[in-house]
Chains A and B, each alone.
Chain A
Amino acid sequence: MTEAASRPARARRPPVPYLLLIPSALFMLALFGWPLIQGVLASVQTPGGGYGWENVRRMTAEPHFWPAVRNTALLIVIVIPLQFALAIAMALLLRERPRLSGLYFYVWAVPLAISDLAAGLVWLAIFADQGYLNSALAGLGLSESGYEWLSYEHPGTMLAAVVVAELWRATSLVFIILVGGLSVIPKEYDEAAQVFGATLWQRVRHVTLPLLRPSIQVALILRTILAFQTFAVAQALAGRNFPLLIGETYEWYVNLQNPYAASAVAMIILGVSMFTATVYLRALRQPDVIRGAR
């Protein structure tokens, strides 16, 4: 930042943008830059004080590590596409202004404010051995004592439970960003396309979605990066039977009291998050690269 700021600004343009940026840049450098350097150092530091790959070896030797990698990847690959399909459908449904749309909007937006821990606990009431899902099954006579959805013997349903809880909790964030994006798109575009005989699918695909691209981009980046940091849902539902990478850093730091290995795991999440964000930015880049520029 600073070396960019010291470069001469373009002729006759007052340094307004820099004045606007400086508070945030300083704040983040203080609260991110310094701790980040400390974190990177800690990840390659050995408890004795030297440097080396000791932490990485420890981390990968831990029996929960590879399952955690697999679970994290699986969860993201499954949840995000489902989530976006659902959120786009929800936003478009509400744009049709059905009756009770105010109520729908409220109910659909509520999970936005629900913490992942709360979501895990909510769905625990449903998926627990004596929970509401099994009660429903028993009540319908489909099963006598229900099914152990969250047992470590049934990794499939455990994953499904976490996916459902994540869909329930985090789709609202995407939904609200898309509703916000939709609301600034004039309805005339869609109506014009309709007048010219475009089908619903054509209008969504060629009119609405391209106009929504900035919102989708923001939502996609946010959601993916947040998905890498999801852990309390799985923690509340399945504990360590469904390890996730971020949960491993927690485990290393809080329970095993090893901040070095915790940092090493965190560096992996950091690297993967950065990589994904870069890919998205490139893939979704708009033709007129610099928004608002002439």
Chain B
Amino acid sequence: MTAAGTAAPDRAAAPDAGVDRAPLARRRRNRMLVQVACLAITAFMAAPMYLITLAAFSTRESLNAFPKSFAPADVSTETLRSFLGATGVVPSFLNSLVVGLLTLVLSVAIGTPAGYALARHVFAGRDAYQLFLLFTRALPIVVLSVPLARFFITAGLSDTVLAVALLHTALALPTTVLITASIFTAVPRDLEEAALVFGCTRASAFRQVVAPLALPGIAAASLFTFVLSWNEVLGAAVLTLTNRTLPAQVLGSLQWSPLPYRFAGGFALLVPALIFIFVMRRYLLNMWGTTLR
């Protein structure tokens, strides 16, 4: 057939004149609907990001104006500069980065083996371990931060980024284990067994068969880990006084700060998110596209 392509292979034998056009029209209409829905969701997701950017790049006068303009009328870095100039903002930004990366490395290194064990092995204590995981995940941060702060003081780690990274790893680890476990579960066991039959050791079967299939998911899991650390406010605020992460810094000054400072803070917290997802996007999309095919 000509235009229909893959749409109706069973009609391939029918003469041209008698082609039923209805499925094709339905298909086209469906694609339209999909596109409209996608655009609507995109608008919902993107509009707030646009508006906070607009607010962060406005002058103080236009932020006080009402009704506000929706187009960038007077682009200025005044609001942002005064935010970045505020005490502790730049160092806290760097702290956030370091804590996030430390957390990512630690939790993937410790968590992935456990996830694999949960997915592939049946052993005594498996259920207990899973319950333990859930239990740790459900703990509210503040409960841990308070006694941990005392612990870190005795360990000589108080008010350091390492202390925050350790707390964040503890928070992220159960998530990492759960997610990697579900990822490894999704990798067919038969493939691994086939590799074993054909002479792989357990380690090389893991490296050559399981790891490539699981890697995209593990990347996603480590993405969560970084994000979890980046977003965590309370623990960081409790554990540190001077070496604050960015969210803790902003939260601490929330009550007495003027609206422009808060908008600039919101924007500053947003930008790394945009960049981070942008960097990961290609990778996420690649894995997502290739496994779909």
Q: Which residues of A contact B (CB under 8 A)?
A: 1, 3-5, 7, 9-10, 13, 16-21, 23-25, 27-28, 31-32, 34-36, 38-39, 42, 86, 89-90, 93-96, 98-118, 120-126, 128, 130-132, 134-136, 138-139, 145-146, 168, 173, 176-177, 179-184, 187, 214-215, 218, 221-222, 225, 228-229, 231-232, 235-236, 239, 246, 249-250, 253-254, 259, 262-263, 266-267, 269-270, 273-274, 277-278, 281, 290-293
Which of B185, B238, B251, B272 is within 8 Å of A291, CB to CB? B185
Question: Are the C-beta atoms of B291 and A184 separated by less than 8 Å?
Answer: yes
Q: Are B140 and A228 neighbours in the complex by a CB distance under 8 Å? A: yes
Q: Given the known inter-chain contacts A113-B230, A250-B234, please indicate yes or no for A105 contacting B142, CB distance below 8 A.
A: no
Complex contact B110–A27 (CB within 8 A):
yes
How many Å from the CB of A44 to the closest CB on chain B? 13
Chain B CB within 10 A, most for which of A5, A132, A249, A266: A132
Within 146-184 of B, Cβ neighbours of A (below 8 Å) are at 146-148, 150-151, 166-167, 169-170, 173-175, 177-179, 182-183
Whether B140 pairs with A270 at a CB distance below 8 angstroms is yes
Q: How far is the CA of A139 from the CA of B65 in the complex (A)?
A: 13
Q: CB-CB contacts of B107-128 with A at 8 A, as 1s and 0s?
A: 0001101101101111111101
A113 touches B272 (CB 8 A): yes
Shortest C-beta distance, A42 to chain B (Å), equals 7
Residue B44 at the chain A interface, CB threshold 8 Å: yes
The closest CB in chain A to the CB of B119 belongs to: A292
| CB nearest to B148 among chain A residues | A35
Q: Do the beta carbons of A168 and B45 come within 8 Å of each other?
A: yes
B-side contacts of A1, CB under 8 Å: 125, 128-129, 132
Determine if B285 and A102 form an interchain contact, defined as CB atoms under 8 angstroms apart.
yes
Chain A contact residues: helix, strand, loop or mixed? helix
Q: Of B11-19, B46-54, B85-93, which binds chain A?
A: B46-54
Report yes or no: B281 in contact with A105, Cβ–Cβ below 8 A.
yes
For B269, what are the chain A residues with a Cβ–Cβ distance below 8 Å? 114-115, 117-118, 121
**Is B287 interfacial (CB 8 A cutoff)?**
yes
B contact residues around A96 at 8 Å (CB):
30-31, 34
B88–chain A nearest beta-carbon distance, Å: 16
**Which applies to chain B's interface (DSSP): helix, strand, loop or mixed?**
helix
User: How far, in whole Å, are A246 and B234 apart by their CA atoms in the complex?
Assistant: 10
B134 at the interface (CB under 8 A from A): yes
A130 touches B64 (CB 8 A): yes
Q: Chain B contacts of A132 at CB under 8 A?
A: 51, 55, 68, 70
**Residues of A contacting B226 with CB < 8 Å?**
113
Interface pair B66/A135, CB less than 8 Å apart = yes
Tally B residues with Cβ within 8 Å of A.
112
Residue of A nearest to B184 (CB): A292
Q: Which residue of B lies closest to A106 (CB)?
A: B281
Contact with A along B249-293 (1 / 0, CB 8 A): 011001100010011011001101110111001001101100110
Question: Once the chains bind, are A16 and B233 in contact (CB under 8 Å)?
Answer: no
B70 touches A249 (CB 8 A): no
CA distance A16 to B123 in the complex (A): 10
Verify if B227 is at the interface (C-beta below 8 Å from A).
Answer: yes
A231 to chain B, nearest CB (A): 8
Can you add 7 more A-B contacts, CB < 8 Å, to A28-B136, A215-B182? A16-B117, A105-B285, A125-B51, A130-B68, A183-B292, A232-B233, A266-B140
By a CB distance below 8 angstroms, the chain A residues around B69 are 135
Distance, CA A109 to CA B113, complexed state (A): 27
Note all chain B residues with C-beta closer than 8 A to A38.
146-147, 150
Contacts of B139 in A (CB 8 A): 32, 36, 270, 273
What would be 25 A-B contacts, judged by CB atoms less than 8 Å apart?
A: A7-B124, A13-B121, A16-B121, A21-B114, A27-B173, A38-B150, A95-B292, A98-B31, A100-B38, A103-B42, A106-B277, A112-B224, A115-B230, A115-B232, A124-B266, A125-B48, A168-B44, A176-B220, A182-B292, A183-B216, A183-B288, A253-B146, A270-B138, A273-B138, A274-B138
Give every chain A residue within 8 A of B113 (Cβ-Cβ): 19-21, 23-24
Q: Is B67's beta carbon under 8 Å from chain A?
A: yes
The residue from A4, A107, A118, A250 contacting B266, defined by CB atoms under 8 A apart: A118
Choose one: B117, B122, B216; the contact of A290 (CB below 8 Å).
B122
Q: Determine how close the nearest CB of chain B comes to the CB of A40; give it in whole angstroms.
A: 8
Chain B residues lying within 8 Å of A291, measured Cβ to Cβ, are 119, 185
Bound together, the chains give a CA A28 to CA B167 distance in angstroms of 10
**A102 nearest in chain B by CB position:** B285
Report yes or no: A235 in contact with B251, Cβ–Cβ below 8 A.
yes
> Which of A93, A95, A101, A122 is close to B270, meaning CB atoms less than 8 Å apart?
A122
Q: Are A116 and B141 neighbours in the complex by a CB distance under 8 Å?
A: no
